[in-house]
Amino acid sequence: MSKKASAILFDLESQERGGSPSFISQTLSKDPQPTSDGDGGRIPLEEWLPITESRKGNVYTATFHLFCSGLGLQVLLLPAALASLGWVWGVIILTVGFAWKLYTVWLLVHLHEAVHGIRFSRYLRLAIASFGVKLGKLLGIFPVMYLSGGACSILVITGGKTIKQLLHIIYEDDEVPLTTLQCFVIFSCLAVVMCQFPNLNSLFGISLIGGVMAIAYSTAIWSLPLASISQRDQNNVSYATKDTSFDTIFNAIGLIAISFRGNNLILEIQGTLPSDSKNPSRKTMWKAVVISHVFIAVCMFLVAIVVYWAYGDKIPATGGPIGNYLELYEQDYSKRAACFIHITFIINCLCSYPINLMPACDNAEMMYTTKRHKPCSIFVRMMFRVFLCLVCFFVAVGFTFLPYLAVLIGAIGLLVTFTYPCFMWISIKQLQRESLMWWFNVSVGSIGASFSVLFVFASALHLADKGLHANFFNP
């Protein structure tokens, strides 16, 4: 699609004439009244929706958002992946995956304003501009919404179960005062309150707290084994890989792949930054990307390498709830240390919830605004967010086994990180066919799509071999 065609696509009048609400005019007038005869009138959607309502962000707020959304709970699964892959291949795949992810982030940052006068502040809008309306929606809607609502449901499951595990540590017996369902309710209620910030930029304080908590529990997780080397010698650690079957190896690679998250929020975070011809937002955004990913890399590599070094084959099998890995610290270290890790982990999950839910909130408000031609009131916005949180809670309660399907379902979301940006670059930039950059992006994107298919197949085989206890509505 040419740049001119992209600009026309994003200036459609269909939204004001009762057409599809999936388009947002980037050159909208602040006056919602008709601007010309027969013109249905243009409404300032960008100024009314939570992602782009405030463009007063800076390199610090963007860094906080990127770090909080980029370093998630999946980092605790990395040692298990290394346990299946071994030292050499585990570290190589982790390094290649991180470089790959950083490259696609660079593509997205520079695609944000690739068309003159247009800011692609939502991943789905860029997908539609790149692939066309039908194909863009087909390829983009499910992965983007899964990475938003699905991530929040998994946060409810993981956060709720971690609360119960924390109570188990405190009470030192199996009879804790709260059931798992009650822990889910507590987590969801706190998440609802934290989701009431008006827009994405206003969440920077929450993202800062979430980032600090991520650093705190990551540091505790890798530093505790280093501080007790003598105890490690007593564990008789082995680094031999016991299962080298196809499904185990690719399931482990899939665990590494899904730990690289946050690409679905890159454009949205960049949309909170001011931009002009002298200081385009990509400069500020790339500085934030570099700073945040330095911290992300340090946390990821230290957790993966040190925990595997300390526990080796004693690490629980790949997949499953995060609590399996935190139990290692409950057994081997003091009660105070275990409580610290669990509390900081829970706070990080709570702080990650609002920023992950924001694309779904923005989409819901967009549909309301395009139909009513007015911004959401405080009450309507609050009701939307309460409703979306209830949906995530309902999914978490009904499908508490979702963490076991992380690779199976997450493989579809991996297209957002490793595949789509490459083909978006080719489409928007109109690269000369068979040029070096064209071949490179086609190759990288195709490899990413192939791995996504392999991860789905391997995860299905792994589940068929190990089994799945699907406890519907029984947390």
Q: What's 282's domain CATH number?
A: 1.10.4160.10
Alpha helical stretches, state H, 228-322: 229-233, 246-258, 266-270, 281-311
For residue 146, give every residue at least 6 positions away whose Cβ sits within 8 Å of its Cβ, in sequence order, or none: 409, 412, 413
Distance between CA atoms of residues 166 and 341, nearest Å: 9
Q: For residue 359, give its domain range.
A: 50-229+244-466
Note whether residue 220 is domain-resident. Answer: yes
Residue 164's φ and ψ, nearest 5 degrees, are -65, -40
| pLDDT of the residue at 27 | 35
pLDDT for 155-193, tens place per residue?
Answer: 999 999 999 988 888 887 667 788 889 999 999 999 999
Predicted confidence at residue 229, as pLDDT, reads 67
Mean pLDDT by 10 residues, the chain (475 residues): 46 36 35 34 76 91 93 85 89 95 95 87 91 89 85 92 88 78 94 93 94 92 79 67 81 89 90 89 94 94 90 66 59 78 93 93 91 90 94 91 80 89 93 90 94 88 75 73
Domain-located, residue 459? yes
| Integer Cα distance of 229 and 394 in angstroms | 44
- List of residues 6+ apart from 114 with CB closer than 8 A: 3, 120, 428, 429
Residue 7 lies in a domain: no
Question: What's the one-letter identity of residue 295?
Answer: F
107, 440 Cβ separation under 8 angstroms: no
Backbone angles phi, psi at 380, to 5 degrees: -65, -45
For residue 418, the model assigns a pLDDT of 93
Instruction: Provide the pLDDT for residue 329.
Output: 64
**Residues ≥6 apart with Cβ < 8 Å to 432:** 438
> H-type helices in 146-278, by residue range?
151-171, 180-194, 204-227, 229-233, 246-258, 266-270
Nearest by Cα to 475 from 174, 157, 151, 44: 157
- Which residues, other chains included, contact 329 with Cβ-Cβ below 8 Å and sequence gap of 6+? 221, 224, 337, 338, 341
Residue 128 in domain? yes
- The widest CA-to-CA distance across the chain, in whole angstroms, is 82
78 and 319 in contact (C-beta within 8 Å)?
Answer: no
What is the predicted pLDDT for the residue at 305?
A: 92
Q: Looking at residue 76, what is its pLDDT?
A: 85
Cα(306)–Cα(304) distance, rounded to whole angstroms? 6
CB 449 within 8 A of CB 415: yes
Rounded Cα–Cα distance for residues 190 and 211 (Å): 18
User: For 149, which DSSP code?
Assistant: I
Work out the angle at residue 228's Cα, subtended by the Cα atoms of residues 225 and 229, and round it to the nearest 5 degrees. Answer: 90
Question: How many CB atoms sit inside 10 A of residue 396's CB?
Answer: 25
Q: Considering the domain boundaries, does residue 445 fall inside one?
A: yes
**Residue 32 falls inside a structural domain:** no
Decide if 415 is inside a domain: yes
Which pTM does this prediction carry?
0.87
d(CA 459, CA 439) in angstroms, rounded, equals 30
Residue 317 domain flag: yes
Evaluate whether 188 touches 208 at the Cβ level (below 8 Å).
no
Question: Closest Cα partner for 124 from 249, 2, 9, 295?
Answer: 9
- How many domains does the chain divide into? 1
